[in-house]
Chains A and B, each alone.
Chain A
Amino acid sequence: MLFLSQLINALQLGSIYALVALGYSMVYSIIKLLNFAHGDIIMVGGYIALFTLTSGLHPVFAIVFAIIGCIALSMLIERLAYRPLRQAPRISILITAIGISLLLQNLAQYFFSASGRSFPSHLILPPGAVSLGALSISYITIVTITVSVISMVGLTFLVQKTKLGRAMRAVSEDMEAASLMGVNNNHVISFTFAVGAALAGIGAILFATRYPLVTPTMGVLLGLKAFIAAVLGGIGSIPGAVLGGFAVAFAEVLVTAIGLSSWADGVVFFILILVLLFKPTGFMGKNLMEKV
C-alpha cells in the first residue's frame, strides 16, 4: 500500500515535470536553444496566480491570467532577447537565456522579497481525497494527472494534425527550406514559445497548488529537473519528455522513500550523466551527425 501511494505520488510529480519538460523540448527542437528561463516563467505564473487570488477575483481568473501572463512574457523574451541572436553562435544565445533566467529571479526577489509567500491553494481546489480502500488519493493528485494527460494529448494533436503543427515540424527540420515554402518562421517560433509557456502556466498552477509556496527561485529546481527530464527523454521528442518526466520523478520519490532525501538531487543528476554518456540523445532523441 505504501508502495502504491508512493507510485501515485511519483505519477503526480512526473506529470508536472513532463508538462514543464515539454516546454524545453519544443523550444529546443525548433531553435536549438536550451531555454534556461523556462523554469522562471513558471515562477512568474505562480506570482500572477497568487496576486489574482489574493485580490479576491474568482479562481478561474487566476488560472487564465497565469497562462496568459506566461505566454505574453515568453513571447516577449523571444522577441527581444532570442530573435536578435538567431544567427549568432549557440554559446551566445545560451548565455543570454541564462541571463534572462537570472533577471527574472532577481526582479522577483527585488519586488516581492526573497522570502516566499504562501499560495491559497484551497481557493483553486478544496483539500480532500478520494479513498479506495486503504489507499487515499488527494483531489489535487487526480486533477494534476488528468490535466497533464489532456494537455499532452492536445499537444500531440496540435503538432501532428494541424497546419501550424506541420509548420512547426517543418521549421524544426530545416528553417531555411520551410521559409522558402512560405512558412513564416518568426510566427512559428513565437507560437512554439507560446505553446510551451501555456504548458508552463498550467504547470505553475498545479505545482503551486500541490506545494503551496511561491518564491522567486521556485522555478530553478523545478526547471532544472524538468530540463533533465527533457534531455533524458530525448530533447525534441514529446513522448520522450513525458517518459523523462516520469523517470526523474520515480527516481526522486524512490531515493526519498528509502530515506536518502538529501542525496535525491545528486541521484537525479547522476542518472542524467549516465544517460548522456551512454545515449547522448536520450531515450527517444534523434541522432544528429555533423556533415563533413
Chain B
Amino acid sequence: MKKKLTIPMPIRYLINFILVVLLLIVGHLAISTGVLNRAQTSIVLQAGIFMILAVSLNVVTGYLGQLPLGHAGFMAVGAYAGAIFWRSNLLSGHASLIVGLIVAGIAAGLVGILIGVPALRLRGDYLAIITLGFGEIIRVFIINLPGITGGTPGLRGIPRYSNFFVVYIGVILTCTVIHMVMKSRHGRAILAIKGNEIAAESCGVSTTYYKVLAFAISASFAGVAGALFAGNQGILTPGSFDFMASINILVIVVLGGMGSMLGSLISAAVLTSLPLILQQFNEYRMIIYSLMLIMIMIFKPSGLMGTYDFSMSRLLEKAYNRLFRHTATEESPPKLTFSIAEKAVVPKQTLGNKPVLSCQQLGIDFGGLTAVDDFNFTVYPNKIAGLIGPNGAGKTTTFNLLTKVYQPSRGTIYLNGQDTKHLNTVKANKLGIARTFQNIRLFKELTVLENVMIGIHNEIDYNLAESILRLPHYWRDEQTAKERSLNLLSLFKMESMANYKAGSLPYGYQRKLEIIRALATNPSVLLLDEPAAGMNPSETEELMAIIQQIKKEFQIAIVLIEHDMQLVMNICEDITVLNYGRIIAQGTPEEVKNDPKVIEAYLGKGEGAHA
C-alpha cells in the first residue's frame, strides 16, 4: 500500500498565497483594462464589503452558535468612526486610509465588548432581542447626535478610499485572521461552547471570555466593513444601518451555511450582485429573500455549504491521490510514533498522601427544598471512592456542587488544599477536578481528537496573536496537544477513531471519550457520573478495567456514581451512601453492604427487618 499524499503546512500556505495573488491580478486587470465598467466595479466592491460583514457575523452565528440581530449596529460604529477620522484630515493618503480602518475596527470592537459583556449573559432568543435593542440604540444615537454624525440628513464628503485593491485586501485579511483564530485552541474553545456550554466549562474553557472574544472579533471586522462602506458611498445616513440591514447580513450567512466561510463568501457575492445586475429582480428581491430564509430553514437548515470549508490544498491532495495512488486507503488512522512509556501521558503529579478533595457540611437548597445537606467527604489520591444511593438521593447534585456548576448554600470544599468558595466551574477544573456527565455531553460536531484537545485547552498557552501569526509557539503547542491527545486515546484503544465525529461513535465509545476528555484536563480528582449506564455486561467489565487502569497510570483520586452494585463493590475502596440528600452510611464495601440503614434505603423497611 502506497503512502497517501499530504501536503505539508508551509506549502499549503504558499498555495493559498499564490491563489490570493492570482485573484488580485485578475481582478486588477479586469478593472484597469475596462472589462468591468464603473458600475460593475462598484458591484464588486459592494460584494466585497458584504463578504466581510457575512464572514464576521458567521463567527458568532456559525461558530459560537448564537443569534445576534444587531450586526448593522457594529457596522455603523465602524463606518462613522472611520468616516469621522478621515474627514478630520489628521493624516493624509495611505496613512489616513490605514489608520482610519484600524480606528473603525477598534471602535466597533470596543462597542462589541461593551455590549457583549452584558448581552452574552443571556442566551438564544434573549441574546437575539438584546442585540436587536443595542443595534437600534446605536441608530437612535446616530440620529440624535447631528453635531458629530450629521444626523438624519447624513454625513457627507467622506473621502472615497475604497477601491478594488483596498476592499480585496480587507476581505483577504478578514478571512485569514478568522481562519487562523478558528484553527487554534481559541477557535476550538469557541466551537466547544457551541457544542455544549457546561461541558466546555468543565473542560476549563472560560465561556464568558470566549463568547466576548468571538463577539469582539465579529464586531471589529464589521466595523472595518463599515468604514469600507463609508469610503465607497461617500455619504452615510442612519437608514443604512437599521434592523433590515442586520437581517440582510443574516440572510447571507444563513443561505451560505452557518459555520462555512466559503458559504458566506459565495452567498455574499451572489446576493449582493443579483439585485444590482437584474433590475427587475430588485422589485421581488425582499419577497424572494424572505421565502428563501423560510425554505432553507425548513428544507436545508445547514444552508448551501453546511459547515464545509474550502481548501485548495485538500483539493489538490484529493486529485493527486485519485490519479496516482489508486490503492491508497481512505482516512488512514494517525500512527503513533512513540510509546506510552516514552512520554508520560499526564505530567506525573506528586499528590502525596494529602487529601485531594475534602468537603465539610456541604449543602444546597433549591427554594424550600434541601437537595444535599451536611455532606462530609474526603478522598485521597490513588483511591477509588463510590457515591451511591437511590434515585433522587442528591448524587449528581453533589457532583454539580463539587465542580461548582451549582454554588453551595453552605459548607466548604477544599481542592488540593485550596478553598473553592469563590471559584467557578472553569477555575475548579484548573485546580484539578474533572468530570463526566450522566447524560453524555460531548462536542458532537467535532472530531474525537478535537474533543480531547479541548480538554488540553489550558495545558497549552499560546495567545491569540501567536495563533493569528502562526508563530513557533503555536506549532510547538499544537504538536504537543495532538500527541498527548492521541496518546490518551491510545490508552483506551481509540486512536484509530481520532478523525471520526464524536456524535457518530457508538454509545460505549462516547462514554469512554468523555472520560478521556476529562482526563486530558490533567485532574487530580476525576468524577464519573454513572459511567456504566446503558452498557452491557462485557462493556461494564471493560469499563471496570479502564477505571482501574486510570488509577494505576495516573495515581489520581476517582469518585464514582453508579447503580451497578457489582461494579461499585468490586472497584471502590470506600463507599458513601446518600439518601434524601444526607449521608446515611460511609465505609468499606463490606461495611456498607451490611449496614441496615442502607438495606432499608434500597429495599424498604419491611424487607430490611427480615434480612
Query: Chain A interface (Cβ within 8 Å of chain B)?
Result: 32, 34, 81, 84-85, 88-96, 98-103, 105-107, 109-110, 220, 227-228, 231, 262-263, 265-266, 269-270, 272-273, 276-277, 280, 290, 292
Residues of A within 8 A of B124 (CB): 90-91, 94
The answer on a CB contact under 8 Å between A94 and B125 is yes
Cβ 8 A contact of A269, one of B128, B137, B297: B137
The answer on a CB contact under 8 Å between B128 and A85 is no
The answer on a CB contact under 8 Å between B298 and A81 is yes
A172 to chain B, nearest CB (A): 15
Residues of B within 8 A of A105 (CB): 286
- List the B residue with the shortest CB-CB distance to A290: B198
Excluding A94-B125, A272-B133, 14 further A-B contacts by CB distance (< 8 Å) are A88-B297, A94-B67, A98-B247, A98-B250, A99-B292, A100-B294, A102-B293, A110-B287, A262-B144, A265-B136, A273-B133, A280-B126, A290-B198, A292-B437
Complex Cα gap A90–B66 (Å) = 10
- Interface pairs (6), CB distance under 8 Å: A85-B298, A107-B287, A265-B140, A270-B137, A272-B133, A292-B396
Complex Cα gap A89–B126 (Å) = 15
The answer on a CB contact under 8 Å between B301 and A272 is no
Complex Cα gap A228–B136 (Å) = 13
Complex Cα gap A228–B293 (Å) = 24
The answer on a CB contact under 8 Å between A262 and B286 is no
**B381 interface contact, C-beta 8 A:** no
- List the B residue with the shortest CB-CB distance to A93: B297
**B471 interface contact, C-beta 8 A:** no
| Given A263-B140, A266-B137, A277-B121, CB of A95 within 8 Å of CB of B297 | yes
Residues of B within 8 A of A227 (CB): 129
The answer on a CB contact under 8 Å between A34 and B128 is yes
Residues of B within 8 A of A99 (CB): 290-294, 297
**B134 interface contact, C-beta 8 A:** yes
The answer on a CB contact under 8 Å between A100 and B298 is no
| Given A34-B129, A81-B294, A292-B396, CB of A273 within 8 Å of CB of B140 | no
- List the A residue with the shortest CB-CB distance to B253: A95
The answer on a CB contact under 8 Å between B126 and A276 is yes
Complex Cα gap A38–B286 (Å) = 19
The answer on a CB contact under 8 Å between A266 and B136 is yes
Total residues of chain B contacting the partner, CB 8 A = 42
Interface of A is mostly: helix
- List the A residue with the shortest CB-CB distance to B302: A92
The answer on a CB contact under 8 Å between A269 and B136 is yes
Within 8 A of A (CB), among B228-283: 243, 247, 250, 254, 283
**B141 interface contact, C-beta 8 A:** yes
The answer on a CB contact under 8 Å between B198 and A96 is no
B293 to chain A, nearest CB (A): 3
| Given A34-B128, A272-B129, A292-B400, CB of A88 within 8 Å of CB of B294 | no
**B405 interface contact, C-beta 8 A:** yes
**B43 interface contact, C-beta 8 A:** no
**B65 interface contact, C-beta 8 A:** yes
Residues of A within 8 A of B254 (CB): 95
The answer on a CB contact under 8 Å between B437 and A280 is no
Complex Cα gap A81–B298 (Å) = 7
The answer on a CB contact under 8 Å between B133 and A91 is no
A229 to chain B, nearest CB (A): 12
Complex Cα gap A89–B194 (Å) = 12
Cβ 8 A contact of A276, one of B122, B243, B293, B298: B122
**B157 interface contact, C-beta 8 A:** no
Cβ 8 A contact of B284, one of A93, A110, A277: A110
Residues of A within 8 A of B405 (CB): 292
Per-residue CB contact flags for chain B residues 56-72 toward chain A (1 = under 8 Å, else 0) read 00000100010100000
Interface of B is mostly: helix
Cβ 8 A contact of B301, one of A92, A98, A103, A273: A92
- List the B residue with the shortest CB-CB distance to A262: B144
Residues of A within 8 A of B291 (CB): 99, 103
Query: Chain B interface (Cβ within 8 Å of chain A)?
Result: 61, 65, 67, 118, 121-122, 124-126, 128-130, 133-134, 136-137, 140-141, 143-144, 198, 243, 247, 250, 254, 283-284, 286-287, 289-294, 297-298, 301, 396, 400, 405, 437
The answer on a CB contact under 8 Å between A276 and B289 is no
Residues of B within 8 A of A93 (CB): 297
Residues of A within 8 A of B118 (CB): 273, 277
Complex Cα gap A261–B250 (Å) = 30
Nearest 5 interchain pairs by C-beta: A99-B293, A266-B140, A102-B290, A103-B290, A269-B133
Complex Cα gap A32–B125 (Å) = 9
| Given A263-B140, A292-B198, CB of A98 within 8 Å of CB of B125 | no
- List the A residue with the shortest CB-CB distance to B118: A277
- List the B residue with the shortest CB-CB distance to A96: B297
A228 to chain B, nearest CB (A): 8
The answer on a CB contact under 8 Å between B136 and A85 is no
- List the B residue with the shortest CB-CB distance to A231: B129
Residues of A within 8 A of B287 (CB): 103, 106-107, 110
Residues of A within 8 A of B137 (CB): 266, 269-270, 273
Complex Cα gap A94–B290 (Å) = 13
Residues of A within 8 A of B126 (CB): 231, 276, 280
- List the A residue with the shortest CB-CB distance to B135: A269
Complex Cα gap A102–B144 (Å) = 27
Residues of A within 8 A of B140 (CB): 262-263, 265-266, 269
B349 to chain A, nearest CB (A): 27
The answer on a CB contact under 8 Å between A102 and B247 is yes
- List the A residue with the shortest CB-CB distance to B406: A292
The answer on a CB contact under 8 Å between B130 and A96 is no
The answer on a CB contact under 8 Å between A102 and B297 is no
Complex Cα gap A110–B437 (Å) = 53
The answer on a CB contact under 8 Å between A95 and B129 is no
The answer on a CB contact under 8 Å between A280 and B122 is yes
The answer on a CB contact under 8 Å between B284 and A89 is no
Complex Cα gap A161–B243 (Å) = 41
Residues of B within 8 A of A107 (CB): 287
| Given A91-B124, A95-B293, A106-B287, CB of A273 within 8 Å of CB of B65 | no
The answer on a CB contact under 8 Å between A96 and B122 is no
Residues of A within 8 A of B437 (CB): 292
B542 to chain A, nearest CB (A): 27
Complex Cα gap A95–B290 (Å) = 10
Residues of B within 8 A of A32 (CB): 125
Complex Cα gap A106–B294 (Å) = 14
The answer on a CB contact under 8 Å between B130 and A276 is yes
The answer on a CB contact under 8 Å between B141 and A266 is yes
Complex Cα gap A38–B307 (Å) = 32
| Given A34-B128, A266-B140, A272-B133, CB of A280 within 8 Å of CB of B290 | no
The answer on a CB contact under 8 Å between A273 and B198 is no
The answer on a CB contact under 8 Å between A34 and B141 is no
Residues of A within 8 A of B294 (CB): 81, 96, 99-100, 103
Cβ 8 A contact of A84, one of B134, B144, B298, B400: B298
The answer on a CB contact under 8 Å between B301 and A100 is no
- List the B residue with the shortest CB-CB distance to A77: B294
Complex Cα gap A109–B122 (Å) = 35
Cβ 8 A contact of B290, one of A34, A84, A89, A106: A106
Residues of A within 8 A of B243 (CB): 220
Complex Cα gap A102–B289 (Å) = 8
- List the A residue with the shortest CB-CB distance to B254: A95
Complex Cα gap A227–B143 (Å) = 23
Complex Cα gap A85–B300 (Å) = 11
